[in-house]
Chains A and B, each alone.
Chain A
Amino acid sequence: MSELRGLQLRIDGFRELGAEVMAVVIDPVEENRKVVERLGLDYPILADPDGRAIRAFGLLHAGANPMVEGADMARPATYVFADGRARWRDITENYRVRPGADQVLEAVREAVADAS
């Protein structure tokens, strides 16, 4: 979850490029509201409790949820879309290791340049 705070610190940079930032998680709406408040996020967290989006993105880590025995969760991943197409992605092989906000910002900058 620490990547959410990192992205918040660069939110002005994303906005300058006209980009929207959104997070997706299996947690329910109520839990996400608390996280948005706790971390002071200016971007939304989308609730995907039945894993529809997570499955559509092929990011399901089946049975890995530590809070609910046997429940699924997402593997950490970041996608950048521009002109409706996936332009950049990071799917980590180690869930502790995730791209920094500057790296994502650079990816958006390049995607915007490529798409235009």
Chain B
Amino acid sequence: MNQARTRWNWPVLLGPLLALVGFASYFTLFYWWPVVRDVPWLNYALLVLALALSVRGLQHALGRGALRVSAAVLGTLFSFGVSALFLWYVTAYSRNLPDAASGLPLGAPVPAVTLQDHQGEPVDLRAIDGPLVLVFYRGFW
């Protein structure tokens, strides 16, 4: 009994830590692979594991003093908060885009635009022979 009381309640700490990893790893790592970018299932899995750990830590802490319970409650709230933030980003924030209807329609000719390439050379989009793939992306960050 005494031994159980002094043993560290690791899930209380591991849960929130894993929640942080589950959140940050999307932007630093998994974002680079479409298979875990478009549907971030790996991050979902990490966050579910983090929540499970936090809840388990909370269960362990119950009845072992106000301090332990408070710490476990805080940790669990943190894990839930981080998970909610991630879910909001994935499902709501990243959909915050203007109406796609204004996009150049199919069948339209290549717009007459000349831009500088990464070496400073001018490139006339209309002067390109053969098929052309144009990728618009948001920025270097």
Contact = CB atoms under 8 A, between A and B. Distances in A.
Interface of A: 1-7, 14, 17-27, 29, 31-36, 44-48, 52-54, 56-62, 64-67, 73-82, 84-89, 91-98, 100, 104, 108, 111-112, 115
Contact of B140 (A2, A25, A62, A98): A25
Contacts of B90: 96
Q: Determine chain A's interface SS by DSSP, over half rule.
A: mixed
Contacts of A57: 103-104, 111, 134, 136
B131 to A, nearest CB: 4
Q: Which bracket fits the contact residues of B?
A: 35 or more
B95 interface: yes
Interface stretch (B3-11, B44-52, B71-79, B120-128): B120-128
B133 A22 contact: yes
Pick the 4 closest A-B CB pairs, nearest first: A56-B111, A58-B102, A19-B131, A44-B117
Contacts of A58: 102-104
B4 to A, nearest CB: 45
Given A58-B102, A59-B104, A82-B131, 18 more contacts: A19-B131, A19-B133, A20-B132, A23-B137, A29-B117, A44-B117, A46-B116, A47-B118, A52-B113, A56-B111, A57-B136, A61-B97, A61-B98, A66-B139, A73-B139, A79-B133, A79-B134, A98-B38
